[in-house]
Amino acid sequence: MPITPPTCADKNNAMRLRIPYNELSALLPKDPGLAAHCRRVAGLATEIASALPLPGRAMPVLEQAALLHHNPSLLFGDAAMERILHDLLPQGGWKEPSRATHSPRALPEDLIALLTAFQAFPRPCADRNTRAASEILAVANFLDEHIEFSAWDCNTLANLSDVIDDLSGLIQPAIREALRKAFRSSRFTLDTGRLPVQIGVIKELLGILAQSASMEVQALAAVASRDPVISARLVHAANSGLYGGRSTIRSVRQAVAHLGIDASRRLLLALAVHPIFASANLRSIWQHSVWMAEFLESFARRQNLLDPEEALFLGLVHDIGRLATQAVPQSVGALFARLTTSNCPVTYVEQLVLGSDHAELGAAILSLFHVPEHIVEAVRFHHRPAASDSLLASALYLGEFASECEEDLPSTPHLRAALANTQCSFESLSELCRKRATSFAAILNVA
Ligand SMILES: [Fe+2]
Ligand SMILES: [Fe+2]
Ligand SMILES: [Fe+2]
């Protein structure tokens, strides 16, 4: 359906700044990937415009232009052609068409002007504010396409400054500065003192569990008893109906004997890692990590590629780098929230704002725990398996994909590489997701 610019007679439409929500959603691209791109571009453009700042009246126009910048009617429809003819033909050579030939829907004039200037970019537009808004829209579009492309090759968004420099000469210096100011305001350096947990006890427990694969009941009970909270939760889990308990177990030693060595080790691993994600705003990450732990353990048994206990641990800690977002200043946290609302996946926001993502930061944190290097590497590449030889990174990527948590932009090359590395077919992956039980999550909830 073609979209028309407002005529002089259509004063109500010409005066309005916003398209009503129901009309706007009907104009969004039907392709989900393209619609997601438009939402992200709107989010980026709003941040850049706020850093300029653009006059408040221009903000809703910019946001809506970003959402509609792939609308084919605007690009190739009658309205666009009329606008071009109006601009190109000598004065008086363009006759306004009769309203009968058009749809009743008319876009606000400012919006049409901005989209026209965006299509003409980098040719500058005469109106100062429209020119600034069209450059912001072009930059936001370029930035999102650049990050999308990086998801398809093996790179992260390494250096935003290089991207900004590439735009020199095409945009005004003020827009370039606004772009710098809007993002990368907080290049992240890991400060272990600001992590929301004391890592000493956890490090010790994990170290002991990692060193001795075979342990007697007595030795394992001694490990569990090092932390009173972990001891209590282990006894509580042993008494739960899930392990056939009858509320008669009163000591860690009895709990380990009742649960068995393997189940006790699994539970101890999870209980050792849980305090890292104990705060209320990390609860959803913990639930996802438990899901991943179960998935990876099943995957390990099925594909016979990795040790199930190692897989379990890897699942529990794979997103430990997301602790970093707990340590950023409040203003950066608010920026994270706004971009996430605009459909930007978490790795996208982290790269843009922190210059690193939770995979890199997680590898740095795990190095502090002195976990084996292959685990650190798996976490480092768990969103870019095609860039690594790590089988564990590929297994983690498949888990992230299967969990549908959408922590990164979709990438066929990475998915193909992960499936090939782990010798897993897409059908096997789907079947594994269907069969997996959730007993571990249930046990942890009662522990
Ligand atoms: Fe675009
Ligand atoms: Fe994850
Ligand atoms: Fe992740």
d(C-alpha 437, C-alpha 242), whole Å? 13
- Starting from the CA of residue 34, give the closest ligand: 1
CATH superfamily of 200-446: Hypothetical protein af1432 (1.10.3210.10)
How far is the centre of ligand 2, averaged over its atoms, from the C-alpha of 407 (Å)?
7
End-to-end CA distance of the chain: 58
Q: Can the peptide bond before residue 53 be classed as cis, meaning omega within 30 degrees of 0?
A: yes
- Starting from the CA of residue 347, give the closest ligand: 3
Q: Which residue has the tokens 């040790």?
A: 307
How far is the centre of ligand 2, averaged over its atoms, from the C-alpha of 36 (Å)?
20
Domain boundaries, the chain: 11-182, 200-446
DSSP-derived secondary structure letter, 7: P
How far is the centre of ligand 3, averaged over its atoms, from the C-alpha of 31 (Å)?
26
The phi, psi pair for 60, rounded to 5°, reads -65, -30
- Starting from the CA of residue 29, give the closest ligand: 1
How far is the centre of ligand 3, averaged over its atoms, from the C-alpha of 407 (Å)?
6
Assigned token pair, 162 = 């290089």
Going residue by residue through the chain, which has 447 residues, state the pLDDT in tens, using 9 for 90 and above: 333 333 444 344 434 556 777 777 778 888 899 999 999 999 999 999 999 888 888 899 999 999 999 976 665 555 555 655 555 555 655 555 554 444 435 677 888 889 989 988 888 888 888 999 999 999 999 999 988 888 776 666 666 777 777 777 888 999 999 988 898 755 556 565 555 444 565 666 666 666 666 666 677 777 667 667 777 777 777 787 666 656 677 777 888 888 887 778 878 778 877 777 777 778 888 889 888 988 888 888 888 877 887 888 888 889 988 887 777 888 888 999 999 999 999 999 998 888 889 999 899 888 877 778 898 999 999 999 999 999 999 999 999 999 988 999 999 999 999 999 999 998 888 887 776 555 666 666 655
- Starting from the CA of residue 140, give the closest ligand: 1
Contact 41, 116 (CB under 8 A): no
Contact 295, 433 (CB under 8 A): yes
Instruction: Please give the angle made by the CA atoms of 89, 90 and 92, to the nearest 5 degrees.
Output: 100
pTM of the model: 0.80
How far is the centre of ligand 2, averaged over its atoms, from the C-alpha of 402 (Å)?
10
- Starting from the CA of residue 38, give the closest ligand: 1
How far is the centre of ligand 1, averaged over its atoms, from the C-alpha of 143 (Å)?
10
**11-182 adopts what CATH topology?**
Hypothetical protein af1432 (1.10.3210)
Assigned token pair, 370 = 């002195």
Q: Do domains 11-182 and 200-446 have the same CATH topology?
A: yes
DSSP-derived secondary structure letter, 251: S
DSSP-derived secondary structure letter, 4: B
Q: Which residue has the tokens 């942890």?
A: 444
How far is the centre of ligand 3, averaged over its atoms, from the C-alpha of 318 (Å)?
6
Query: In Å, how far are 233, 248, 256 from 217, measured between CA atoms?
Result: 17, 18, 6
